[in-house]
Amino acid sequence: MGYDQAAWAGFAGTLGAVAAALAGLLFVAVSIKSDVLSASRNLSSRAAQSLCLFMTNVVLALIVATPQSSLALGVELLLLAVSSGGLMLVLDRRAGHAPAMSVTRYVERFSPNTLTPLLIGVGGVTLLLRAGGGLYWVLAAAVASLLAGVVSAWLVLVKLTG
């Protein structure tokens, strides 16, 4: 199952719909408080990270749903992992970090923002090798990404309204 792309079509459709809905909700929430967001590099970068996590899932769903060879899918997963991982690292550095003893700092440190691209990359490699799990790693990446996106969005919204 982990190497049969056609078996994952329903998952891809559901993932794409959920992630697109969350991205849209975040976009609306952020646009309402755009004045506060534009004044803070930290908040704008954290909001961008949340959006990146949700949109990574949308792209992931499109890649998995597209009929193609396992080789092409594996390579596309690796490219998505590298590009989303690089973007997440840039946004994290740009945002800076919360004070050492705060709850926000703890969540920032242990949030799976960089775990998601790693899991996508592992999925791509194991799909190419046809050993080690294949697309089941993509499931783990999607769960991590959705959870991280929701937590990150919640932190941004709490700061925006507080």
pLDDT tens per residue, range 94-104: 877 666 666 66
Taking residues 84-91, report their average pLDDT.
91
3-state secondary structure at position 135 = coil
pLDDT band of residue 61 (cuts 50, 70, 90) is: very high
Q: Is the pTM of this model over 0.75?
A: yes
pLDDT tens per residue, range 106-150: 655 656 688 899 999 999 999 999 999 999 999 999 999 999 899
Distance CA 93, CA 115 (A): 16
Taking residues 13-37, report their average pLDDT.
91
pLDDT score recorded for residue 19: 97
pLDDT score recorded for residue 102: 63
Whether the per-residue pLDDT at 90 is higher than 70: the answer is: yes
Sequence spans of domains, the chain: 5-161
- Encoded amino acid at 102, one letter: S
- Cα torsion angle, 82, 86, 89, 91, sign: negative
- Encoded amino acid at 57, one letter: N
Closest by Cα among 116, 98, 109, 113 to 158: 98
Distance CA 95, CA 115 (A): 18
pLDDT score recorded for residue 107: 59
